[in-house]
């Protein structure tokens, strides 16, 4: 299902009979509420049904005591144009990821475009075009925040000012282009930050032709806003160096599916030991050589919960509210005024876990019964997850 960005409004929507409400807020991951009221795509009330105005709703959904959580935010993807990736020549990968509970994606650079321009005029043109295209077109309803230029030698402060004025809000992974030295990256990251453009740096060994090793010293000197795939994409820095980055940098700690799983666990544990779990965000780093992972975000949640022994409700915050706050997004948290982007989940049929959270803690991914973006139902029972034990029902 391909959907334009400008479309019908949801009107008043009521979600009732919620069994578990995950907030996305790592300081209060579970809310004592069973009802959400939405108007034209924004949350207007969260609480107990008796305290909410549920009258005259255009749509009412009986959640049937299942879980509602903010839609997952994939902090690290590499889109090109539309819902096609030349990296694996696959069509429909973004819509398929929506069936994995992802409602927002953040581009780390449109690097897989065949013939990607590397001259300064061309890279700026590509970034602006990608930003415009995905602002106008949402595959499956997913919000793809794209237009992330790969910085190259010769760029000046004016180039970053021009990109920001055109609406570009992100830099692609620093280190995928010709700028690889820490001092060069630091200057350009500072220019980007001056004009409100957020930066991410490649961490670890090379991933595509033209990229190279970005070690801990370069990451620390560049001081980008996000330590991109701190567990490698694909090849990780030594575990001790990753833990040193967690300790010496104050920037976001991004852990991805297409990286080293052992180091992913070590990085998450280090963040908890350093008492900065709010810095941890999750992504897939797909499409990549290892493919497209529609359930990559859910798999990361289950991996970190089960093997790093982190409560599942906290790991869901890594994939939602933490990312929303670090990326300055109006989603990812269930609170009044935020976008009504939700994933409805229940324990998968026949999991050993007695509850949704217990099943995730045991390493099983949940079943998705529905996905909602801007208050509109985008899919009902997921075609990709195991079947959920219970699924929501649209009453009218």
Domains defined for the chain, CATH in brackets: 2-70+331-394 (2.30.40.10), 72-294 (3.20.20.140)
- Of the CA atoms within 13 Å of residue 262, those in its CB half-sphere come to 6
In degrees and rounded to multiples of 5, residue 282 shows phi and psi of -120, 150
- Mean pLDDT, range 257-282, rounded to an integer: 98
pLDDT tens readout for residues 33-79: 999 999 999 999 999 999 999 999 999 999 999 999 999 999 999 99
Task: Give the sign of the dihedral formed by CA 261, CA 266, CA 271, CA 273.
Answer: positive
Question: How far is Cα of residue 380 from the mean position of the Cα atoms in its chain?
Answer: 21
Closest-CA residue to 68 (of 260, 335, 329, 342) = 342
pTM of the model: 0.97
pLDDT tens readout for residues 183-235: 999 999 999 999 999 999 999 988 767 667 899 999 999 999 999 999 998 89
Closest-CA residue to 142 (of 38, 5, 290) = 5
pLDDT at residue 151 tops 90 = yes
pLDDT of residue 41: 97
In degrees and rounded to multiples of 5, residue 21 shows phi and psi of -115, 110
In the sheet with 226-227, reading across from the earlier edge strand, the strands are 200-201, 226-227, 252-256, 280-283
- Mean pLDDT, range 117-127, rounded to an integer: 98
- 3-state secondary structure at position 145: strand
pLDDT of residue 210: 67
Residues 147/132, Cβ–Cβ less than 8 Å: yes
pLDDT band per the 50, 70, 90 thresholds, residue 1: very low
């Amino acid at each position: 299902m391909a959907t334009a960005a400008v479309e019908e409004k949801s009107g008043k929507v009521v979600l009732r009979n919620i069994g578990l409400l995950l907030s996305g807020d790592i300081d209060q991951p579970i809310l004592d509420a069973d009802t959400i009221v939405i108007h034209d795509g924004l949350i207007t009330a969260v609480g107990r049904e008796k305290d909410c105005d549920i009258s005259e709703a255009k749509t009412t959904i009986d959640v049937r005591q299942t879980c509602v959580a903010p839609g997952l935010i994939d902090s690290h993807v590499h889109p090109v144009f539309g819902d096609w990736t030349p990296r694996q020549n696959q069509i429909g990968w973004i819509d398929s990821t929506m069936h994995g509970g992802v409602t927002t994606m953040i581009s780390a650079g449109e690097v897989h475009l065949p013939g990607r321009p590397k001259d300064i005029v061309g890279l700026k043109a590509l970034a602006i075009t990608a930003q415009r295209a995905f602002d106008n077109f949402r595959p499956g309803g997913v919000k793809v925040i794209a237009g992330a230029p790969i910085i190259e030698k010769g760029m000046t402060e004016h180039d970053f000012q021009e990109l920001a004025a055109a609406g570009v809000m992100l830099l692609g992974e620093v280190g995928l282009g010709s700028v690889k030295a820490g001092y060069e990256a630091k200057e350009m990251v500072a220019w980007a930050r001056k004009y409100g453009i957020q930066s991410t740096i490649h961490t670890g060994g090379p991933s595509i032709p033209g990229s190279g090793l970005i070690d801990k010293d370069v990451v620390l000197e560049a001081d980008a806003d996000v330590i991109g795939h701190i567990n490698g994409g694909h090849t990780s820095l030594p575990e001790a160096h990753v833990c040193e980055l967690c300790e010496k940098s104050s920037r976001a700690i991004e852990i991805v599916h297409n990286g080293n799983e052992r180091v992913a666990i070590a990085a998450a544990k280090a963040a908890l030991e350093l008492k900065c779990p709010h810095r941890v965000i999750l992504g897939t780093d797909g499409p990549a050589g290892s493919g497209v992972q529609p359930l990559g975000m859910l798999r990361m949640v289950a991996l970190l919960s089960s093997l790093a022994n982190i409560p599942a409700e906290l790991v869901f915050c890594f994939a939602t509210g933490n990312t929303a706050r670090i990326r300055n997004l109006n989603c990812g948290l269930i609170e009044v005024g935020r976008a009504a982007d939700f994933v409805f989940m229940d324990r998968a049929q026949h999991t050993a876990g007695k509850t949704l959270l217990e099943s995730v803690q045991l390493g099983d991914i949940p079943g998705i019964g529905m996905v909602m973006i801007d208050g509109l139902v985008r899919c009902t029972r997921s075609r990709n997850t195991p079947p959920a034990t219970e699924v929501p029902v649209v009453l009218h």
